Structure 1
Amino acid sequence: MTKIKETSTHFENKQSLTECNATIYATDLLSGQWTLAICCVLEKGKMRFGELKKSIPGITERMLTLQLRKMEANKLIKRTVYAEVPPRVEYEMTAITHELDPIVKELQAWGEKHRKMMG
């Protein structure tokens, strides 16, 4: 994943777009190959890292870690660490992310329709 330098024109353009358009802001939060996949898996409820990894074919541990950190920073998921030995960590969607459920279901229906049309 490439990090955009805060001094670049691209960064300024992206910043300007996300500040003035809520749709672009939302898609920026959800962009990336894995964000929606993680949301779809967590829609079922709380999961530990290993469960998430097993539920998302093709994602590496490093990429899952990076995505979870990004999603937590953006308040899309909540990370809970339990004071146990060994420590137990669970991830779950936040209330505002659960508001995406109907949108994700619509995307799924659209994807199924489009896949049939292409096949």
Structure 2
Amino acid sequence: MLPHGHPGPPAPPRLITLQVARRRGLVLRLHCEPCGRCQAVDSASLPERRRTVCLGELWLAGRFRCAGCRRPAGRLEVVEAVQGVNRTCEVWRPGDPLVAERLRRHWRWDRYDRRDWGAWFGRG
């Protein structure tokens, strides 16, 4: 709590993990900058993992690839269809200043599978 009873900033939204995306039937839109393709991937078709991993981690590691040129996707959008209307839940793109902070907060509060930020980037 901050002085004078202020609760402070709201908690950051929880990042969408691979398991949650598969369970909720989300759609991933992969955008490739070099070839200009945009493809939609159903989250149910993604391979299962035992470890809790968020979609941003997989995007950062280059796991999502363009179907045409096989390069890592430049941008990842996580889309949910709510009553026939598509709603974007998360967007991951290079140059976004919040990418590192979002992942750092996710790793800090992940109770079951802690990450070490320095080890992830080879500093530590």
* TM value normalised by structure 2: 0.30
More strand by proportion, 1 or 2?
A: 2
* Richer in helix (by share): 1
